[in-house]
Every structure is written in structure tokens, then in C-alpha cells.
């Protein structure tokens, strides 16, 4: 038993160490990628300087007698390694990624590698050896060098392409990081664009009808005229100016819903019953206008098309970062479902952008009642308060 407990602790520790290594490695890769993008030429120079130092220990000083001969040999080796690296990274791999068939890419790679290895061997035999060795010594002809394929494969290919694979791997990591960052940037821009579009979706008929109703109230000097104007002003102020960020206080969204319901009541009069209950233990932050869109959808396709006595129920709860929002509305049979789905689909897109894998949206209908139930995990969007907000608003 103790043995299993020890193994379990060891496995847990290894997993924790692995995660820590990933967390440490990711910022390092990010810094390297940013530096390489900002200083491309300098980053290449630094890489080849480091590579030159790392591979300098491959030579035996006793074989070459002095250090300057090692530097000459090393300059030759690094030069052909650079040629092989750029050939592999900038000619072969891009073709490999975009090619429909890989046969021509394989041919390009084999022919190019062969030419590089042959040139490397020719430089060794006809340039380096006469300079570094004491004659007399035998030399292969260029034709013999070109025909000695086994030696080119077993010796010169590994020698020339040893660092090329590392260079190509680093380049691929950098490009993958850049693609990922670009994708995240596009997703963020898309979310912001669609959020702005959502803000612009505030039903123009609501504004038109509300202004008409307020105008009618003003003609008879109704005491609720100023209150209605203030409510509309608060709605427009919230939508146009207070929703510029990705999240807003939940209490502000509750106030927005109250103002919206008050103004819609002017339109439908006594035939509409609206009940709004809310209870939150924390004034958390939520994505703006999502809740209003669900409420507006209920008014537009429920009360707006119900010729009887429509009923809309809204229930909002937040407990321990678990947010629940339910909207139900009555509707006339055969007239509600498809139209309501269009609005819900637009709202679902917003939730996918703003709360990926953190929400659940369910839609049900029964007895001519359309019900939308939204759950969101607001763990990352909360700001703790000390008191509980609870109230109930009822119109009948």
C-alpha cells in the first residue's frame, strides 16, 4: 500500500514538474519568436554564432596541429551547413507544405542534397586538403567524387545537414507560433466586431415605438413622461458608451433590463404580464447585451406576435460564480419557433466567442411556451462584494 502511495505521489510530482516546464518554456518561446520577428537578420547571426561554438568541439587539435587550421575547416563546415539549412527550410519545406503530390518535392530534395554534398566534397578535396595537408597526397577527380554516392550519403550528408534539421525545426516553431498569434488576433477582432454588431442590433422598432409612446404621453402631460425619457436615455447611454469593454457589471445589465421592460410596458399596456426576478451574491462582470438580446427576443417574438394576453417570465441567479438566466414567453402556435431560432442563433455565436466551453444554452417549447435557459461559468469574470442583491419586479 505504501508502495502504491509512493508511486502515486511520484507520478503526481512528475505531472506537476511537466506542467511547470511547459509554463516556463512557453514564455521563452514567445520571447524568442518576438525577438526573431523584430530582429530577423540579427537572430540569424546569433543562431549561427551559437551553432559554430557548439560544433567547434568536433575537431581534434592533434590532427590539425594548430588552431587556425581548425577555424578554416570550421568555416568551410558552417558555410555548407548554412547553405543546406536555407535550402531545406526555405525551398523544400514550403513546397512540402503546399504540394499536392510529394514526388516532385522528394526529387527536389534528393537532387539538391546531392549537389550540395558533391560541392562540399569538391571543396574539401581540391581546396582544403591542398591548403591544410603536406604534399604529396592523392586526390579524387570531380567525376570520382560525383560517383562516390555511398561516401556522400554516409559522411557528407550527415555532416552538412546535421544543423539544418535544427534550424528548420526552430523556423517551424516560430511560424506556428506566429500563425497561432495571428489566429488569436483574428478571433479577438472578430469577437469585438460581432459585439459591436450586437450593440447595433437594438431593435429599431423598439426605439421608434418608444419615441412615439413618449410623444403621446407628452401630449396629455402624463406624469410618467419624464420617467420614460430618463429610462430611454439610460438605455442608450449604456448601449452606446458603457459597453465598449468586453465585460460590464452584472448590476448594470440588470438595470438595463428593468429600463427596457418599463419602456416596453408603455407599448403593450395592461394586456402584457412581465415578471422579473433576480438574485446575485456577487456583482460579477458579464458580456454586455447578451441578456438584453434574450429579453428583446422574448418581447419581439412573444408579446409582439401574441394577440391574446402574453406572459414573459425572466429569472436571473448568480451563486458561487454559477450564472443562470431563464427567459420564457408565450407564443401563438405555428408562428414562433423558426423566427425565434434566428435570434437565438445570433446570440449563440456571441456566446461561443465570449465564453468558449464555459456556457450552456438550452431551448425548449411546451404548451405554447418558449423557454431559453442560459448557464455560464463566471469564475474568471467575478469581483467579490459583501452583500446579496435580491429583488423582484412584477408587471400585470
Instruction: Count Cβ atoms below 10 Å from residue 173 Cβ, excluding itself.
Output: 13
Please, which residues bridge with residue 389 across strands? 280
Among the three residues 146, 181, 216, which one is the final residue of a domain in this structure?
181
Q: Three-state DSSP class for 242?
A: coil
Residue 19, domain member (yes or no): no
Residue 341, in any domain of the structure: yes
Q: Are residues 140 and 230 in the same domain?
A: no
pLDDT of residue 22: 43
Domain end among 118, 151, 181: 181
Shared domain for 229 and 310, answered yes or no, is: yes
Q: How far is Cα 192 from Cα 204, in angstroms, rounded to an integer?
A: 21
Same-domain check for residues 261 and 389: yes
Of 125, 153, 181, the one marking the end of a domain is 181
Q: What is the per-residue pLDDT for 396?
A: 42
Domain assignment present for 196: no
pLDDT, residue 2, reads 40
Q: What CA–CA distance (Å, rounded) separates 23 from 62?
A: 45
Tell me, yes or no, whether 134 and 209 share the same domain: no
Digit-by-digit pLDDT tens for the chain (396 residues) are 444 443 444 444 444 444 454 444 556 667 777 777 778 889 889 888 888 888 776 655 455 556 777 788 888 889 999 999 999 999 998 888 888 888 899 999 999 999 999 999 999 888 888 877 777 778 888 999 999 999 999 989 998 998 899 999 888 888 888 888 888 888 778 777 776 666 565 556 667 777 887 888 888 888 888 888 888 888 888 877 777 777 889 999 999 999 888 888 877 777 788 999 999 988 889 988 889 888 888 887 776 665 567 889 999 999 988 999 999 988 877 654 555 455 677 788 778 878 888 999 999 988 888 899 999 998 865 443 333 334 444 444
| Amino acid 383: pLDDT | 43
Give the DSSP per-residue string, 101-150. -SHHHHHHHHHHHHHHHHHHHHHIIIIIHHHHSPSP-----HHHHHH-HH
Output the CA torsion sign for 196, 202, 208, 212.
Answer: negative
Is the pTM here over 0.75, yes or no? no
Range of the domain at 146: 39-181
Same domain, 227 and 82: no
Residues 357 and 291 in one domain: yes
With respect to residue 312, please indicate whether it lies within any of the assigned structural domains: yes
Q: Are residues 319 and 212 in the same domain?
A: yes
Quick one: 242 and 175 in the same domain?
no
pLDDT at 121: 92
Domain co-membership, 217 together with 341: yes
Number of domains in the chain: 2
Residue 387 is assigned to a structural domain of this protein: yes
Identify the pLDDT of residue 192: 73
Which runs of consecutive H residues, i.e. helices, occur in the chain? Answer: 2-38, 40-54, 61-64, 67-87, 93-98, 103-123, 129-132, 142-147, 149-151, 157-161, 164-199, 204-219, 225-241, 250-268, 290-298, 337-354
Read off the CATH number of the domain in which 334 is found.
3.30.565.10
Mark whether 160 and 218 lie in a shared domain.
no
Q: Does 5 reside within a domain?
A: no
299/228 same-domain check: yes
Looking at residue 13, what is its pLDDT?
A: 46
In-domain check, residue 89: yes
**Radius of gyration of the CA atoms of the chain, in A:** 36
- Do 239 and 384 fall within a single domain? yes
Which residue reads 459591436 in cell numbers? 196
Would residue 31 count as lying in a domain?
Answer: no
Amino acid at each position: 500500500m505504501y508502495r502504491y502511495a509512493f508511486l502515486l505521489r511520484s507520478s503526481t510530482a512528475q505531472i506537476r514538474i511537466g506542467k511547470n516546464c511547459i509554463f516556463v518554456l512557453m514564455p521563452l518561446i514567445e520571447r524568442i519568436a518576438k525577438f526573431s520577428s523584430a530582429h530577423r537578420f540579427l537572430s540569424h547571426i546569433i543562431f549561427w554564432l551559437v551553432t559554430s561554438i557548439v560544433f567547434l568541439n568536433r575537431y581534434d587539435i592533434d590532427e590539425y596541429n594548430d588552431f587556425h587550421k581548425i577555424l578554416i575547416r570550421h568555416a568551410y563546415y558552417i558555410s555548407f551547413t548554412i547553405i543546406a539549412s536555407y535550402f531545406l527550410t526555405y525551398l523544400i519545406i514550403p513546397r512540402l507544405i503546399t504540394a499536392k503530390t510529394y514526388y516532385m518535392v522528394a526529387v527536389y530534395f534528393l537532387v539538391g542534397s546531392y549537389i550540395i554534398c558533391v560541392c562540399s566534397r569538391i571543396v574539401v578535396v581540391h581546396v582544403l586538403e591542398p591548403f591544410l595537408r603536406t604534399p604529396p597526397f592523392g586526390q579524387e577527380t570531380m567525376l570520382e567524387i560525383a560517383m562516390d554516392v555511398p561516401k556522400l550519403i554516409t559522411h557528407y550528408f550527415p555532416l552538412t545537414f546535421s544543423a539544418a534539421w535544427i534550424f528548420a525545426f526552430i523556423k517551424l516553431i516560430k511560424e506556428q507560433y506566429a500563425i497561432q498569434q495571428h489566429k488569436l488576433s483574428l478571433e479577438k477582432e472578430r469577437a469585438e466586431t460581432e459585439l459591436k454588431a450586437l450593440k447595433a442590433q437594438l431593435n429599431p422598432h423598439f426605439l421608434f415605438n418608444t419615441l412615439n409612446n413618449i410623444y403621446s404621453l407628452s401630449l396629455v402631460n402624463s406624469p410618467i413622461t419624464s420617467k420614460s425619457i430618463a429610462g430611454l436615455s439610460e438605455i442608450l447611454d449604456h448601449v452606446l458608451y458603457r459597453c465598449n469593454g468586453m465585460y460590464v457589471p452584472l448590476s448594470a445589465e440588470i438595470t438595463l433590463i428593468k429600463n427596457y421592460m418599463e419602456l416596453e410596458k408603455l407599448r403593450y399596456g395592461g394586456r402584457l404580464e412581465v415578471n422579473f426576478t433576480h438574485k446575485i451574491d456577487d456583482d460579477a462582470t458579464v458580456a454586455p447585451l447578451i441578456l438584453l438580446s434574450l429579453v428583446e427576443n422574448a418581447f419581439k417574438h412573444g408579446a409582439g406576435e401574441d394577440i391574446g394576453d402574453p406572459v414573459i417570465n425572466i429569472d436571473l441567479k448568480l451563486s458561487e460564480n454559477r450564472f443562470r438566466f431563464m427567459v420564457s414567453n408565450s407564443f401563438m402556435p405555428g408562428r414562433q419557433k423558426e423566427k425565434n431560432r434566428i435570434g437565438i442563433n445570433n446570440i449563440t455565436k456571441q456566446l461561443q466567442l465570449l465564453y468558449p466551453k464555459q456556457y450552456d444554452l438550452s431551448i425548449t417549447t411546451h404548451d405554447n411556451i418558449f423557454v431559453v435557459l442560459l448557464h455560464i461559468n463566471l469564475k474568471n469574470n467575478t469581483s467579490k462584494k459583501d452583500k446579496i442583491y435580491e429583488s423582484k419586479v412584477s408587471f400585470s
